[in-house]
Amino acid sequence: MFFNESQLTEIRNAILQSHNISIVVHRSPDGDALGSSLGLKHVLMALFSKQVSIIVPDAFPSALDYLPGSESIVVFDSQQELTNEVLNATDLLFCLDFNHPGRVGDLEELLKQTAARCIGVMIDHHQQPEPFLTYIGSKTSASSTCEMVYQFCRSLGMQEVPNQEIAKCLYTGIMTDTGSFRFSATTPETHEIAASLLKADIRHWEIHEHLFNQNSLTKLQMWGYALTSKLVVLPEFRTAFISLSADELERFQYQEGDLEGLVNYALSVQGMKMGVLMSERKGKIRISFRSTGSFSVNDFSRAHFEGGGHENAAGGVFYGKLEDAISKLTAALPDFSDKLNA
């Protein structure tokens, strides 16, 4: 467990005494961020009858609309005044699925102010946590934040088989963050927790349908174009990358979430150690890294692209032109050549 007994007692007391609980997740919220925050919210409502607000820095993919409670999430980007109101009234803050205040984009200042003012609890599985909250629940070997939230809520008194709302949310994050139970962080415990969630009688195939069988035609055509025309393989560095400009995204009517998972295809090219996806969005270059084995994309992104995450999955950013981001990537590879070819 990532909190010791006395921390758990203190957190439980903080929950009991709180009036306004808020949960904040990282920008570009994914299945694990939304699943863990909504799952925790339903637990706090069910066990403690608490009011809980969830704040996300920017919009989430509509494929996640099926999550119970998603309609009441506050989106900072489009509801800044409401976000201010909610966070100013907050007396207990949970930060889920991120470990650094810089991961919430323009919400950073307000989040820091809130964290400085009230009790804060982090539950997260990314590398190198920043201790900006009162309680730091960090487990970098965990498959997902949802797995950690399940364990945390069990210690708060949640039943082994929770209600359907909770189960749907937590199952979603475990399934998405493990790539449907295939990534290396998937453990026997991950499957045991998933089994308990399935016992709540959720329809796991429906969750899968919601997430993976709702592709728009233009999204699939964009993926086809990316793989046919924009995939570059550098065998000497065992690296493959895809780059997409704002114009190209627009040509295929890009919607939030449309690039989710594309980077895995770059990595899936035979012999590759690292896959990279660069896309020009909102005036900057967003970068996703994936790797296999011991090559750390967390280290690579931290060194060159102001990002980080996990050993085998990380994000990054580049401020400038897409072609300059590509040049920076290819220039950075020789320094990592030994590790890429290890």
Residue type, 19: H
* Closer by beta carbon to Mn ion, 92 or else 123: 123
- Cα separation of the two ends of the chain: 34
Pairing of strands 21-25, 52-56: parallel
Is position 280 an interface residue for Mn ion (rule: CB under 5 A)? no
Q: In the Cβ-directed half-sphere of 259, how many Cα atoms lie within 13 Å?
A: 26
Is position 32 an interface residue for Mn ion (rule: CB under 5 A)? yes
- Strands (E) located in the chain: 21-25, 52-56, 74-75, 92-96, 119-124, 135-138, 231-234, 239-244, 274-281, 284-291, 308-309, 313-318
Answer whether 22's CB lies under 8 Å from 54's CB: yes
Residues contacting residue 130 through CB under 8 Å, at least 6 positions apart? 99, 100, 101
Is position 147 an interface residue for Mn ion (rule: CB under 5 A)? no
* Closer by beta carbon to Mn ion, 125 or else 273: 125
* Closer by beta carbon to Mn ion, 121 or else 226: 121
Shortest distance (Å) from residue 124 CB to Mn ion? 8
**216 to 220, 252, 257: CA distances (angstroms):** 7, 10, 11
Place of tokens 């090559």: 295
Is position 97 an interface residue for Mn ion (rule: CB under 5 A)? yes
The span of 42-50, 145-153, 182-190, 215-223 binding Mn ion (CB under 5 A) equals 145-153
The closest of 182, 164, 177, 146 to 66, measured between CA atoms, is: 164
Taking residues 63 to 92 in sequence order and writing x for each that binds Mn ion by CB under 5 A, - otherwise, the string is: ------------------------------
Is position 260 an interface residue for Mn ion (rule: CB under 5 A)? no
Is position 258 an interface residue for Mn ion (rule: CB under 5 A)? no
The span of 142-150, 264-272, 286-294, 298-306 binding Mn ion (CB under 5 A) equals 142-150
- How many chain residues touch Mn ion (CB under 5 A)? 4
The span of 9-17, 86-94, 173-181, 298-306 binding Mn ion (CB under 5 A) equals 173-181
**Using the rule CB under 5 A, which residue among 58, 147, 165, 177 binds Mn ion?**
177
Shortest distance (Å) from residue 125 CB to Mn ion? 6
* Closer by beta carbon to Mn ion, 139 or else 328: 139
* Closer by beta carbon to Mn ion, 30 or else 165: 30
Residues contacting residue 205 through CB under 8 Å, at least 6 positions apart? none
The span of 39-47, 93-101, 109-117, 133-141 binding Mn ion (CB under 5 A) equals 93-101
Shortest distance (Å) from residue 25 CB to Mn ion? 9
What is the DSSP annotation of 234-280?
Answer: EGGGTEEEEEE-HHHHHHTT--TTTTTTTHHHHHTSTT-SEEEEEEE
What gap in Å lies between CA 339 and CA 293, rounded to an integer?
A: 11
Shortest distance (Å) from residue 183 CB to Mn ion? 11
3-state SS record for 137-156: EECCCCCCHHHHHHHHHHHH
When CB distances to Mn ion are compared, the closest residue is 32
The span of 144-152, 157-165, 189-197, 202-210 binding Mn ion (CB under 5 A) equals 144-152
Binding site for Mn ion (CB under 5 A): 32, 97, 145, 177
